[in-house]
Amino acid sequence: MKILFMLAMCCNLAWPQVETGTVVVFVSSQNEITVAADSRSLNSITRIHNDYSCKIRVFGDKFFFAMAGPVDGYDAAGHGWSTYTESKAAWRRAVRNPHMVSSAQKLTNDVAEHWINSMDSHQRDYRAIMAIRDTIQAGNALASAIFGATDSAGNLGLTRATILIDLDLLDKKKVVRLTHEIVERPKLGDGGTLGLGEIAAQYAVPTTVRIRQGIFSPSAQDAEIARKLVELTIQLHPRKEMLGGEIDELQLWSGVGVTWISRKNTCKEQE
């Protein structure tokens, strides 16, 4: 699903303050989904790092959300916004619908659609986007997120939503062109990355078996693999100043729900 639109330069600054900079790794198998993320965010105005960001959020006990890209700021009218708050509101609305709750994939799709619509309402200003131009992540992704859920029948749902920006058009004509993409679990394969995921992708590719020797144990499970890929990204990425802090990690089990493997105390306080 793709939606394409052109937005001309506006006169108000919609994002005087946002935080961005991330690596998220997710690994999917038949009965579980594992997700791990670093903790560093970068304020695009002050350029100050925060190593206590909570990039993985749990709504209820059977749904998780993680993203890379701008997470909060102010709109053109000066009203504050938070993508985590808005996504949780979308989840609360969706779970009141029995049709959504009975299908994990429909639930994650619905919340992902809301996330895209919500982000659209905040990404409409040329000057604001230029303020974070150097933080736009690999593959021209302005923002990306994953949503995972399990339902009472034991099905797992996983949706990746991405907002892409045409950087050539942005730089040459000062025009914002965004493309939206939603991908469901069957097409996501064994997993993937959000944000600065090039290093993780390199070590995860099966053709790099010799490189992987000594990195993963022969019996490595999903949790070990996801965590190690985040660690390698923090250590080796050429933009590693945007990455760091503790690694948060959870697993979503089919029919059971979320189990935290590691989580900062500051994140526990935000639940």
| Residue 208 backbone phi and psi in degrees, to 5 | -100, 40
Distance between CA 165 and CA 157 in Å, rounded?
A: 27
Distance between CA 16 and CA 22 in Å, rounded?
A: 20
DSSP 14-45: S-SS-EE--EEEEEE-SSEEEEEE---EEETT
The pLDDT value given to residue 140: 82
Name the percent of the chain lying above pLDDT 70: 81
The pLDDT value given to residue 83: 87
- Please give the tally of structural domains in the chain: 1
Does 102 have pLDDT greater than 80? Answer: yes
Q: Is 146 helix (H, G, I), strand (E, B) or coil?
A: strand
The pLDDT value given to residue 258: 97
More confident residue, 264 or 101: 264
- Cα 193–Cα 199–Cα 200 angle in degrees, nearest 5: 40
Instruction: Give the residue carrying structure tokens 């992708």.
Output: 201
- Cα 174–Cα 181–Cα 84 angle in degrees, nearest 5: 85
CATH code of 66's domain:
3.60.20.10
Distance between CA 250 and CA 150 in Å, rounded?
A: 14
| Residue 116 backbone phi and psi in degrees, to 5 | -60, -45
Distance between CA 198 and CA 232 in Å, rounded?
A: 10
Which tens digit of pLDDT belongs to each residue from 8-52? 333 344 443 456 668 999 999 999 999 999 999 887 777 788 899
The pLDDT value given to residue 7: 34
DSSP 160-219: EEEEEE-HHHHHHH--EEEEEEEEEHHHHTTEEEEES-HHHHHHHSGGGHHHHBTTB-TT
The pLDDT value given to residue 11: 34
- Cα 60–Cα 68–Cα 77 angle in degrees, nearest 5: 90
The pLDDT value given to residue 209: 59
Exposure of 252 in the CB half-sphere (CA atoms within 13 A): 30
Interval 61-72 mean pLDDT: 91
Distance between CA 113 and CA 115 in Å, rounded?
A: 5
The pLDDT value given to residue 169: 82
The pLDDT value given to residue 270: 66
The pLDDT value given to residue 19: 60
Distance between CA 11 and CA 63 in Å, rounded?
A: 38
Burial 182-216 (b: 16+ CB within 10 A, else e): bbebeebeebbbbbbbbbbbbbbeeeeeeebeeee
Does 120 have pLDDT greater than 80? Answer: no
Range of the domain at 77: 4-269
Does 115 have pLDDT greater than 50? Answer: yes
Distance between CA 103 and CA 11 in Å, rounded?
A: 43
User: Is the entire prediction scored with pTM above 0.95?
Assistant: no
